[in-house]
Amino acid sequence: MAVRVGFVPHLLPLRRSFSSAPVRRADFTHAVIGAGVVGLAVARRLASTEGTSTILLERHASPGTETSSRNSEVIHAGLYYGTDTLKAQLCIQGRQMMYELCAKQGIPHRNTKKWIVAQDDEQWGACLRVHKHAQSLGIPTRILSQEEAQRREPEVRALAGVVESESTGIVDSHSLMTYLHGDFENRGGDCAFLTPVTRIEALDGGRAGYRIHTTSAEDGSETSITAETVINSAGNSACHINNMVLPPARHLTPYYAKGTYFSYSASFPRPSVLVYPATLPGHAGLGTHLTLDLSGRIRFGPDTEWVDDPTDLRPSRERLATAIPEIRAYLPNIDEAAIDLDYCGIRPKLARGGSSVNNGSGFQDFIIREEEGFPGFVNLLAIESPGLTSSLAIAERVHSLLHK
Ligand SMILES: Cc1cc2nc3c(=O)[nH]c(=O)nc-3n(C[C@H](O)[C@H](O)[C@H](O)COP(=O)(O)OP(=O)(O)OC[C@H]3O[C@@H](n4cnc5c(N)ncnc54)[C@H](O)[C@@H]3O)c2cc1C
């Protein structure tokens, strides 16, 4: 659908009821920028409220072509984040919502479970801390006996022990996004693809809404629409959208942590559970782990590499050399010749070197907030892992921010 040219809204303070007012003040009540899994979930949730109209603006020709299709597709349990963090709260809530939605709508998924494996005392200490923390959050984890671990996955090495996360699983992220997209449109939402947002004006400081300028990716034509609220769900470009709206003193610099995946073409060994090495403090990610897709295909990764360009998605061969010993540590009989470069994804970061796990120094939580002084402008920043798992819960949170 092409973006409709907007009309100038009344420069009056907007009410927040989004009731079906006789005089509509803007073209849309809500404009969501970015049709990744989070933008789709948010737009779908907002479109469910009567008297609202929601448009989803996406620069590419279809939804979910950036980070949302370049991840591990894991439904995370929420093991690694401090009790008071948004990551813990939204991952736990989002995981439950995800399993329910997938079961109800027939979206392919599986409760594979996950093992966190330790090879020495230091790693086992880290595993036990995760186990204890999980218990305090009410997330089911258990310590496996050596006999059970050997029986279930004889090829997985865990010299010092295994903690199992029972609620971890996988989801077909493409089927999920196809469902969210369809359901958004069924609820009356509009999608505008090939529509990059290039400029945003806060009308009367946002009190009269926002004028969103776009340039067609097809023919370069420029147009604009108005919306009472703007939700910035632009993933790796979220800082750029932020900087279009907020004054220079509140501008943000984006950082990018690339993760490379490795494929495995041999039929042996083939564990049926996800395998993660114990995470020691200070790591930017969760180590080069083993995940599965719904067809049983193994992939290793992602690793972490800081890059300057968010479109730098080419896997590089040098990464393979570092990954192999990490993989061999928990899967010693791996056939190295069958491991190859696969694909990359890029995590949106707000600082270089920060940690996405644990609540220690440098930890970066999700940022989900209506920006002070800009009513109706909601920023979703640093939505890295577990953003896929949390997407439905993030949508609930945005909805409650806007419908206070
Ligand atoms: C390597 C890796 C592994 C991960 N593994 C997992 C996992 O196993 N489980 C999990 O829960 N999470 C995981 N994540 C996190 C998860 O993938 C992300 O949190 C989630 O996909 C983010 O979705 P999003 O919609 O915010 O962003 P995106 O998918 O990046 O979507 C943003 C959209 O905004 C659009 N956009 C940007 N700028 C503009 C503009 N100016 N105008 C119009 N459109 C614009 C983009 O084109 C894009 O489509 C992983 C992430 C990475 C990088």
Side chain identity at 45, as an amino acid letter? Answer: R
Query: How remote is the CA of residue 72 from the centroid of ligand 1, in Å?
Result: 12
Retrieve residue 26's tokens: 């803007």
Residues 380, 38: contact at Cβ < 8 Å?
A: yes
What pTM was estimated for this model as a whole? 0.94
pLDDT tens digits for range 303-345 = 999 999 999 999 988 999 989 999 999 999 999 999 999 999 9
Kindly state whether residues 247 and 333 are assigned to the same domain: no
By most ligand atoms within 8 Å of CB, the mutation choice from 37, 71, 193 for ligand 1 is 71
Strand-pair partners of 340: 263
Residue nearest to atom 14 of ligand 1 (CA): 385
Domain count, the chain: 2
Residue 201 domain flag: yes
Residue 349 CA to residue 364 CA, distance in Å, equals 8
Tell whether ligand 1 has an atom less than 6 A from the beta carbon of residue 382: no
CATH number, domain of 292, equals 3.30.9.10
Please state, in angstroms and as integers, the Cα–Cα distance from residue 311 to each residue in 160, 236, 344, following that order. Answer: 40, 9, 10
User: Cis bond leading into 269, ω under 30°?
Assistant: yes
Can you give the pLDDT at residue 285? 62
Residue range of the domain that includes 137: 113-167+255-349
Residue 354 domain flag: no
In this structure, the strands spanning 298-300 and 255-264 are: antiparallel
Which of these, 73, 70, 79, 72, lies nearest to 115 by C-alpha position?
A: 79
What does the DSSP assignment read for 292-334?
E-TT--EEE----EEES-TT-----THHHHHHHHHHHHH-TT-
pLDDT tens digits for range 351-375 = 997 666 665 668 999 999 999 999 9
Displacement of CA 289 from its chain's centroid (Å): 18
By most ligand atoms within 8 Å of CB, the mutation choice from 32, 68, 378 for ligand 1 is 68
pLDDT tens track of the chain, all 404 residues? 333 333 333 333 344 555 444 445 799 999 999 999 999 999 999 999 999 999 999 999 999 999 999 999 999 999 999 999 999 999 999 999 999 999 999 999 999 999 999 999 999 999 999 999 999 999 999 999 999 999 999 999 999 999 999 999 999 999 999 999 999 999 999 999 999 999 999 999 999 999 999 999 889 999 999 999 999 999 999 999 999 999 999 999 999 999 999 999 999 999 999 999 998 765 556 778 999 999 999 999 999 999 999 999 999 889 999 899 999 999 999 999 999 999 999 999 999 976 666 656 689 999 999 999 999 999 999 999 999 999 999 999 999 999 98
Nearest atom in ligand 1 to 74's CA: 8
pLDDT tens digits for range 59-91 = 999 999 999 999 999 999 999 999 999 999 999
- State whether residue 181 is helix, strand or coil: helix
Kindly state whether residues 56 and 103 are assigned to the same domain: yes
Kindly state whether residues 294 and 400 are assigned to the same domain: no
Side chain identity at 133, as an amino acid letter? Answer: H
Tell whether ligand 1 has an atom less than 6 A from the beta carbon of residue 369: no
Nearest atom in ligand 1 to 259's CA: 1
Tell whether ligand 1 has an atom less than 6 A from the beta carbon of residue 41: no
- State whether residue 348 is helix, strand or coil: strand
